[in-house]
């Protein structure tokens, strides 16, 4: 990241989308801004935390987003382009199974916490022979909604929000619809790595700096976020191949749950992981793909495990 005149500090954050919030900064298009981002727990967890701390998380304080930033000249009907210029280096992160949360919350009812050492810039060690490539991105990124009042930052929405798209990495250009004057942009929930789907409900959660550059496309309207990646999606991982489980169902959720359940069984049987470890590893490393939707009501979802993570 290069030097940046503007910084949104960690205390300048909020927990809801609300178009009546006062912006903490106003910038012209073409400006870069550095955001100091809290981890998804909002500072409730530390590198010394245990699974018992996970069970005590206050959901009113999770997923804080830094901002909002007012983009001068932005009006409803415009598109805001956000270029991701770079990330700071976090020292640690966490992955948790939170009771009542996640794709298989009915099966995983006990809290679990994995603390990661992120001081190596390339990989994070899950177990002695399992290393996850570090690929930082923001889980939550977006603009204010047109509807008045307070709206939770926990789900994704038409304004962006908690999209958890792991390809929003350095060099990606994200396009967001502008719904209100100034757009009122915010970002948070930074991750060091994640699989597509974030199935257990958390990635490698890690607070870190993120530098973004804003550009405005006047009079160009989109309805929901779109983005351009700077190159291949999984460089350095594809070359070793994948182990893939598939799940069939008469709705996408059933198919997805089955594909992930079969992957957890595979990780338990072939790698000796506990069910909780396998679920957490799936969340940070396994990519879900919709393989088939055309034969309604028969759907197929595939879960891709990159073999490159096994040393």
DSSP 13-53: EESEE-TTSPPSEEE-TT-EEEEEE--TTTT---TT--HHH
Distance CA 79, CA 177 (A): 5
**What's the pLDDT score for residue 1?**
63
The pTM for the full model equals: 0.96
**What's the pLDDT score for residue 243?**
98
Of 110, 107, 132, 109, the C-alpha closest to 122 is 132
Distance CA 211, CA 128 (A): 33
Q: Name the DSSP letter for residue 134.
A: P
Which tens digits make up the pLDDT trace of 51-84? 999 999 999 999 999 999 999 999 999 999 999 9
Q: Is 281 exposed, middle or buried (0-12, 13-18, 19+ CB in 10 A)?
A: buried
Q: Which domains does the chain have, with CATH numbers?
A: 6-228 (2.60.120.580), 238-309 (3.10.28.20)
Which tens digits make up the pLDDT trace of 148-177? 999 999 999 999 999 999 999 999 999 999
**How much of the chain is helix, strand and coil, in % rounded to 5?**
15, 40, 45
Of 128, 142, 62, the C-alpha closest to 94 is 62
Cβ atoms of 15 and 189 closer than 8 Å: no
Longest dimension (CA), the chain: 57
Distance CA 166, CA 138 (A): 8
User: For the chain, which ranges sit under pLDDT 70?
Assistant: 1-2
**What's the pLDDT score for residue 236?**
79
Residue found by looking up tokens 């994704």 in the block: 156
Instruction: Record the tokens describing residue 95, joined without a space.
Output: 């992955």
Distances (CA, A) of 106 to 65, 98, 253, 305, 306: 29, 11, 14, 23, 26
């Amino acid at each position: 990241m290069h030097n940046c005149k503007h910084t949104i500090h960690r205390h300048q954050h909020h927990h809801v989308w609300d178009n009546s919030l006062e912006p903490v900064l106003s910038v012209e298009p073409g400006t870069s801004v550095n955001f100091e981002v809290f981890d998804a727990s909002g500072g409730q967890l530390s590198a010394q935390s245990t699974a018992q701390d996970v069970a005590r998380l206050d959901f009113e304080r999770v997923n804080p987003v830094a901002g909002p930033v007012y983009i001068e000249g932005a009006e409803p009907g415009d598109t805001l382009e956000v270029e991701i210029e770079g990330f700071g280096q976090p020292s640690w992160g966490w992955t948790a199974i939170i009771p009542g949360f996640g794709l298989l919350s009915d099966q995983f009812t006990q809290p679990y916490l994995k603390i990661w050492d992120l001081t190596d810039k390339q990989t994070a060690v899950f177990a002695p022979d399992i290393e996850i490539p570090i690929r930082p991105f923001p889980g939550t990124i977006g603009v204010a909604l047109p509807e008045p009042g307070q709206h939770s930052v926990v789900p994704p929405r038409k304004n962006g929000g908690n999209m958890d798209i792991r390809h929003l990495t350095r060099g990606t250009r994200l396009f967001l619809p502008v719904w209100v004057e100034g757009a009122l942009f915010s970002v948070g929930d930074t991750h060091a790595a994640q699989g597509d789907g974030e199935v257990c409900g958390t990635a490698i959660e890690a607070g870190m700096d993120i530098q973004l550059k804003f550009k405005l496309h006047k009079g160009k309207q989109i309805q929901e976020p779109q983005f351009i990646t700077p190159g291949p999606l999984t460089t350095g991982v594809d070359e070793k191949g994948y182990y893939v489980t598939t799940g069939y169902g008469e709705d996408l959720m059933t198919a997805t749950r089955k594909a992930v359940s079969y992957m957890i069984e595979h990780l338990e049987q072939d790698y000796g992981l506990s069910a909780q470890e396998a679920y957490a590893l799936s969340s940070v490393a396994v990519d879900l793909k919709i393989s088939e939707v055309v034969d309604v009501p028969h759907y197929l979802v595939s879960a891709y495990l990159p073999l490159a993570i096994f040393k």
